[in-house]
Structure 1
Amino acid sequence: MSSDLDSSYREVYVSFAQQERRLEKVEEEYNKVDKELQSAKETICQLEESKDNSKENLLLEVAAWEQDNEKFFATSAVKTILERVEQTSFVVISGSGGMGKSAIAYHIALSFRNMMGYEILPINEPSDILKFCKTGRKQIVIIDDLCGKFAIDTRIVGSWMRLKNSITRLVKLAKESLRIVATCRLHVSKCKQFQKLMQAFEITECDLLSDELALDLDEKRGIGLCHLNDNCLDSLGENVISQTDMFPLLCKLSAGKTFDPDFFEKPYQFFETELDGMALENKVCFFGLALLVLFNNNLKKNLFDDRCNKMFNEIFDEVFEELEMSDKPSKLFVLRSLETLNGTFIKVNESSVSAIHDKVFDFIAFFIGKMLLKTILKYGNSNFISERMSFEFSDEFTEDDFFWGDEFTEDGFVIMLDKDHEELYFQRIIQEIGNLRFRIVFANKIAKTTYYQGKLIDLLSKQDDILSIITGNVWALVLSAFGDCEMLSSFILEERLKKKKCEQTSDTKAEGTLSNVLFNTQIHIDDDDLGDIHNEFLSSSNSPLLLAIAEKREDIIQLLLESGNAININETILIDGIEGTALQFSYFSEEFIITKMLIDYKADVNVQLPDGGTLLHVVCEEGNVDYLEVFLSSEECDVNRVNDLEETPLFLACRSGNTECVELLVASQCDINSSNVEGKSPLHIACSEENADIVGILLNTDYCKIDHCDNDNNTALMISCERCNMEIEQLLILHGCNLNTANVHGRTALHIASTIGSTEIVQLLISNECEINLCDNDNQTPLNLAIENYQKTCIELLLSYSCDVNICTIDGQTSLHIACKTGQVDIVEFILNSNRCDVDKSDDNQDSPLAIACAHGSKDIVERLITQKCKIDTVNIFGLSPLHIAVRSDYIEIVQTLIESGCDINLCSANKQTPLFCACEMGICSAVQLLLNKGCDATICDSDGLTPLDIANAKGFLDIVSYFSEKDKSSEIDIIYSKI
């Protein structure tokens, strides 16, 4: 007994412990979910705050433009550029630094906003256009330094080219509502990459140095007077004013300061003197400018508050040492001192400090860069080093050693490194490789030189750890090829081959191919300097392949495709806000050869696009026959895949009228009867688009369902009837379509053809023995619909085939009733002449055709019906005769006609009212006069015991009452005379 209790107790205890553990686990899970929820809320708040800050920054930026615009001088060049922007969607303003390119762009943006209601959108990246621009909204996009400032930035050019299709499509859809205005330094605009960009986007360039837009002396003086007085300008002289390109900037910088003519003749020397003096007398300010240079003109304020930023602390200490200052200032003191230069050297906003103008930064960077070479090479921004530093020419170099591009730089503000600093330069390059930051290694200004490549190869050969990094990372191989660093590219490839051979097992034959080299090689990337390429792009193993596609490098693509598992050709990633695979990216970049290469390497051709379709849908809609043949060559290509609207590629090809695509798809045994969400088949859409060739192709197959109905039960025959396409109608009838199928409204092809008056098609249908008297859901025959829509030739044709004119509609009306409503006497004549018409047949309200004609004021039709011996005193369900109706409608001529034709003038309605009552009630004096003169009995009382005179008197129709009185007096006189 005791043991049983112990056992039971243990079971209960164990059960309780298990429950307790489960509760603890649930609590842990709850806490975990709660933390995730709180984190999500914080993220949302941060995003909202970021959104608000972005909007606030935008408003502040435009407000600054407005302030500068107050001193803007509109030259003839500005007016010309404004006209160009009005006429074209994409305009670039080019010119030397300091010429006022940005000021003109801002002025144009403000003009569009103030005069035409455009929204201003200052952006930095081309992807922002797709993010912020909306069709239907008036927007003007402003982009400063479209493709780089100091030199062409191939990264930005690549981003523009990647988004070409999307942006051009958006611009085309937006039409007049979207304008893009960009600025570009002249030396950048002369580069080949920029010229290609101009062609791709059909950009209109406005060169401020061209004869058309160049400023004359008077205009330059006008600009100068916005900032200076006449005396200042006179002291400069005409030659200085005329020959100084950056005159607008120099005038702006001189405003409110002691005027110095030397500043206009030798601006750099002026800044050099100022900076020299500052380095001696105000070292703390100079310290701040040095930091600005190190951070490449974007010095974040929060760096001065962050005590834990180890890198900034090191940079700060290094600058202090190199400037040889006696006392080390605090970070905040340096920032506050730097801010005192606001308006002269720098401009300060909420979060950062930058030079007052890009040209001013060129001066500062050149001066300080030469002083702080050691610190810059150790800690400076990668882009700064890449774009602004080079080696001095020496006797051992030849011109062929250097590749300067179209134009190396503007105004020669390049920091030249002597032999003593080359070692530091290459130390930085080795450091960048170790940090997997490869852009500076292969895309700097001297990367193409044999000297640079040879020196780097020598260093790599002596450092196994760095060599291992550069040979084990596909990015190094790819970017070396992109940078046209042939020596380095070959060296890396050879080292990878060696490495692979060493790793191969003894039982594996070394083939020495690139496939072996890259097989199972992991791709790592940690390169912040790839600018516009998003993190999602960088983290993908597919990134090198996509970059190669963007740069149209078929050789590199081939190498990567042969790399086995190193590249996942079908990985979907987000790039520039668009999710897609390498194949989709290639197709939308219009790269046919590359697209074919990818398909040959088994790229998935069936990956879905955002609309649920595949690239095959796009190919067929755009009519790209060459691409279609390549896609169909893939065994995996699903020709029957549907998009979100359940449209097949064939459907889209039919809709777009791409006959060759239709032929190829049909030959590929696609389903030609697959219907979309509206139930429409390819045959339906081909008929709708009136493409007889495509209709013929579809009908000539053995399995086309010619009588397939859509969701409204419309057949292809009905759709072609709506389009009045005789050729397609004949094709469909020739292939045996059903002529009498009715849609959801009960209408056949003949109903539709009769409604729109297509006599040829009506004749064709009748000749092929369609049912001529079928009724729709309202019991309307084709004849009735033809009458309702005044289709006279169709009416004659239908009547000639003895159609039934006495079939009643849902309201009980015959063809004659409907004809009487039209007021067209010739239509009534057609029906009456058919000799099959019941002229007195009444509708559901017991209205005869004559009553209908009276109600619609058709005198000619009334006369024709009376000639046809119709009954003129038939009353409707309210007891109203045609005369009642004509009187109430104030059709006096019809009233006259009815009376002369012998109608009963005193016939009473359901409430015992004669037509005279109707005239008195409506106040129609002319009708009262006519009826009384024709002998109408004015003494008849209605069901309320009232006479017509009582009605007129109660209504206040004094003219009618007066006429009754005159009529009574006349009657009394007649009685008196009759008694004499």
Structure 2
Amino acid sequence: IASSVLPEHQSYHKCIRTLTKYNQPEFSNILAKWHMLQKIEKRASAYFLHVYQAVGRLGGKVLLDECKSLRTKTLDHSNHEIIKEINQARKEMQETKRDVVTLKMSFDSLKINYTDLNHDHNELIEDYGTLRNDHERTNNTVVELRQTYADTLPRGLRAKTKRTLENWVEDAKMHVETQKDKHIFECITRHQCVLVTGSFGIGKTSTMKNVALRMNESGYDVIPVIDDPRDILNFYNPNQGTLFVIDDFCGKYTLKSSQFERWKNLTDDILSIIEGGNCKIIVSCRLQVYNDSKFTTLSLFKNCICNLMSDNLSLTHTEKSEITFLFLRSDSSKICKLQNIFNCFPLLCKQFHDNPTSDITQVFTNPSPILETEINQLQKGRIYGKYCALALCVKFENSLHENVLTGDIDKKTRSLFKNICEKCNLDRGTSRLLLKDELDSLIDTFLINDHGCYRFKHEQYFEFFRCYFSQI
């Protein structure tokens, strides 16, 4: 265009100035297109320069020369096709880019929806957990209400019974299960009534509690009874297996007539209950109570008697060693040879555990503290018959023959009996046969009957009671 207007020797800028003078519309339009082409050329040159430099770095001089020739090469028909394909590819790339943007927006939207759904899901899980806990509490409440409605125990007594069993569980941590536990458990499984007896400190109460806990685990409702057998009649539940547990059921140190008579009078009623099969009774008493002559008239507990001092139920050497280690730990080796001196060995272990002293040997060879507690309880409980029986053994120098109690005696011996009875708060005319019954009740607890002669079981027992009764 410029060449048609201006001579060939004029420069580009001069050509532009000349065209501008004409100020014609077509020339203005041509100039605008010219400026646009000039800008495109500058950008293309910049892009080509970057490509040219990159090709030179990657392909070396050969490719660099090829790039130079391509810069000035005239486009043929095939090149036009390539340009079209490039333009078409550019359009497809732009469409793909738009699709990617659209997909990204869709993904972001889905991500937001997923976050909302996840939040709702977590809330539903929390609500479900809350509902499940509420459901469990409601079920427990319903069960408790049903039990309360069907429970024969008053609510206050039920709470007390629960605390008692919890204490028994805690005590069981210091209990060694022995052959006597297994035997008594088998007995209460087979029989409706079981009596556990033995001397003081031998482990009657501990064993009975352990057996009761095992019965509780088996599904029985365990109810400790203090001393009134009428509780069995009042709290028996025909729809629930029940085990009544009574410790020292007829008195602790001697047979108490009032308690004995209540049991005797209610025997038939209790038998009618236990015949149903859902009710069981396990009781304990000391040997001095069991040996009372009146006890033979109580038929309720004649079928199954477990004497912990019998040969088949007494503690074995291994069991005593286990008890020793449980209570004494590192000190257990110090008393290995002292385990068989006294029947109250388990009680001695417990007392040393509760009140350890420096002289462990003294504890297991001198039972004076335990004997003092026993004799004081006889005196405080006004159990003067047994108290007097022990005093008689002392006064007869640990050799009291039966014929002195059943046969004729001289005036001096009769006077001795009367004086001892009086000092022991008994009537001076107390029958010697009554005193013999008291002596018999103490056999295997404090005394033995050695071919018709009453003696203390251990020399230590005699020495203690001789000092105790020295003022009589």
Q: TM-score, normalised by structure 2?
A: 0.50
Give SS of 1:128's match: helix
Q: Measure the CA separation in 2 of the matches of 1:59 and 1:360.
A: 34
Instruction: Tell me how far 1:133 sits from its aligned partner.
Output: 1.3
Structure 1 residues 168 and 70 mapped into 2: Cα distance closer, same or farther (>3 Å)?
A: same
The alpha-carbon deviation at position 254 of structure 1 amounts to 1.3
**Structure-2 change in CA distance of 1:73 and 1:360 (3 Å):** farther
* CA shift in 2, pair 1:365/1:171, >3 Å: closer
The counterpart of 2:182, out of the listed 79, 95, 98, is 79
1:120 aligns with 2:222: yes
Secondary structure of 1:84's aligned partner? helix
Corresponding residue number in structure 2 for 1:154: 257
Letter in 1 for 2:321: R
Question: Which residue of the partner structure matches residue 243 of structure 2?
Answer: 140
- Give the direction of change, closer, same or farther, for the CA distance of 1:365–1:149 in structure 2 (3 Å limit): closer
- The whole-number CA distance in structure 2 between the counterparts of 1:136 and 1:360 is 47
For residues 247 and 365 of structure 1, the distance between their equivalents in structure 2, rounded to whole angstroms, comes to: 20
Structure 1 residues 118 and 401: alpha-carbon distance in aligned structure 2, compared to 1, 3 A threshold:
closer
Alignment match, 1:224? 324
Offset of residue 187 of structure 1: 2.1
Aligned counterparts, 1:196-595, within 5 A: 196-197=297-298, 199-229=299-329, 231-238=330-337, 240-255=338-353, 257-258=356-357, 260-268=360-368, 270=369, 361-362=373-374, 365=377, 383-384=381-382, 386=384, 389-390=387-388, 395=412, 396-398=415-417, 401-402=431-432, 403-404=434-435, 405=437, 407-409=440-442, 410-411=445-446
- Note the 1:413-812 alignment, pairs <5 A: none
Determine if contact 1:168/1:201 at 8 Å carries over to the other structure.
Answer: no
Contact 2:254–2:383 (8 Å) recurs in 1: no
* Greater radius of gyration (CA): 2
Contact 2:292–2:441 (CA under 8 A) maintained in structure 1 = no
Whether the 8 Å contact between 2:287 and 2:441 is mirrored in structure 1 is no
What secondary structure, in the 3-state scheme, does the structure 1 residue paired with 2:174 have? Answer: coil
- CA gap 1:180/1:235 in 2 versus in 1, 3 angstroms: same
Please report how far the alpha carbon of residue 411 of structure 1 lies from its aligned counterpart in structure 2 after TM superposition. 2.6
Per-residue deviation at 1:384? 2.9
Listed one character per residue, the Cα deviations across residues 13-41 of structure 1 (whole Å, up to 9, x for unaligned) are xxxxxxxxxxxxxxxxxxxxxxxxxxxxx
2: CA distance between counterparts of 1:194 and 1:56? 34
- The DSSP-based 3-state class of the residue aligned with 1:129 is helix
Equivalent residue letter for 1:189: Y
CA drift at 1:164 = 1.1
Aligned-residue CA RMSD (Å) = 3.0
Equivalent residue letter for 2:311? D
The 8 Å contact of residues 321 and 336 in structure 2, kept in 1 or not, is answered as: no
Report if aligned partners of 2:193, 2:300 keep a CA contact under 8 Å in 1.
no
| 2:288 paired residue number | 187
Counterpart secondary structure, 1:253? helix
| Alpha-carbon spacing, 1:132–1:74, altered in 2? closer, same or farther (3 Å) | same
- Which residue of the partner structure matches residue 61 of structure 1? 164
CA change 1:195–1:398 in 2 (3 A) is: same
> 1: distance between equivalents of 2:169 and 2:238?
26
**Structure 1: which 5+ residue stretches go unaligned?**
1-49, 272-358, 370-379, 420-980
- TM-score, normalised via structure 1 length: 0.25
**For residue 21 of structure 1, what is the aligned residue in structure 2?**
none
Partners in 1 of 2:195 and 2:383 — Cα distance? 28
Question: What is the CA distance between 1:192 and its match in structure 2?
Answer: 2.4
Q: CA deviation at 1:195?
A: 2.4
2:291–2:441 CA contact under 8 A, matched in 1: no
In structure 2, give the amino acid aligned to 1:252: K
Contact 1:147/1:153, CA 8 A, preserved across alignment: yes
**Structure-1 separation of matches of 2:300 and 2:293:** 12
Q: CA deviation at 1:416?
A: 6.0
Deviation at 1:202, TM superposition (A): 3.9
Matches within 5 A, 1:876-887: none
Q: More helix per residue: 1 or 2?
A: 2
- How far the C-alpha of 1:58 sits from its partner, in A, is 2.4
Deviation (angstroms), 1:194: 1.7
Give the deviation of 1:55 after TM superposition. Answer: 3.5
Q: Which has the higher contact order (CA 8 A, sep 6+)?
A: 2
**Is the contact made by 1:164 and 1:201 (CA closer than 8 Å) also made in structure 2?**
no
Q: Distance in 2 between matches of 1:127 and 1:417?
A: 44
1:364–1:202 distance in 2 versus 1, CA, 3 Å: closer
Partner Cα separation in structure 2 for residue 172 and residue 132 of structure 1: 16
Label 1:178 to 1:360 Cα distance change in 2 as closer, same or farther (>3 A): farther
What is the distance in 2 between the residues matched to 1:131 and 1:117? 20
Q: Which amino acid aligns with 2:374?
A: D
Residue of structure 2 in register with 1:644 after alignment: none
TM-fit CA distance, 1:361: 4.0
| Preserved CA contact (<8 Å) 1:77 1:213 | yes
Q: Is the 8 A contact 2:271 2:300 kept in 1?
A: no
Tell me, in whole angstroms, the C-alpha distance in 2 between the residues paired with 1:234 and 1:201: 40
SS in 1 for 2:312: coil
Alpha-carbon distance between aligned partners in 1 of 2:302 and 2:264, rounded to the nearest angstrom: 13
Structure 1 pair 401/179, CA: closer, same or farther in 2 (3 Å)?
closer
Identity in percent: 23
**Pair 1:72–1:244, CA change in 2 (3 A):** same
**What code does the residue aligned with 2:367 have?**
P
CA pair 385-179 structure 1, distance change in 2 beyond 3 A? closer
* CA deviation vs aligned residue, 1:85-107 (integer Å, no higher than 9, x gap): 10001111111101110111100
Contact 1:216-1:242 at 8 Å conserved across structures: no
Give the secondary structure class of the aligned counterpart of 1:97. Answer: coil
- Identify the match of residue 274 of structure 2 among 168, 171, 176: 171
Segments of 5+ residues of structure 2 without an aligned counterpart are 1-152, 396-411, 419-429, 448-464
- Secondary structure of 2:357's aligned partner: coil
Question: How many angstroms apart in 1 are the aligned matches of 2:197 and 2:344?
Answer: 13
Q: What amino acid maps onto 1:253 in structure 2?
A: Q
Give the superposition deviation at 1:401.
Answer: 4.2
Contact 1:389–1:416, Cα closer than 8 Å, also in 2: no
Equivalent residue letter for 2:446: D
Number of aligned residue pairs: give it. 262
Q: 3-state SS of the aligned residue for 1:226?
A: helix
For residues 384 and 237 of structure 1, the distance between their equivalents in structure 2, rounded to whole angstroms, comes to 38
Partner of 2:208: 105
Deviation for aligned residue 1:389:
4.7
Contact conserved, 2:375 with 2:387, CA < 8 A, in 1? no
Read off the aligned partner of 2:196 and give its amino acid letter.
I
In 2, Cα distance between equivalents of 1:220 and 1:360 = 24
2:244, 2:280 within 8 Å by CA — same for their partners in 1?
yes
Residue 70 of structure 1 corresponds to 173
Quick one: distance in 1 between partners of 2:470 and 2:265? 36
Give me the whole-angstrom Cα distance separating, in 2, the residues matched to 1:408 and 1:204: 20
CA distance in 2 between partners of 1:68 and 1:190 (Å): 29
**Change in CA separation of 1:365 and 1:169 when aligned onto 2, cut-off 3 Å:** closer
Instruction: Tell me if structure 1 keeps the 8 A contact 2:197–2:290.
Output: yes
Partners of 2:292 and 2:234 lie apart in 1 by: 28
Amino acid corresponding to residue 214 of structure 1 in structure 2: S
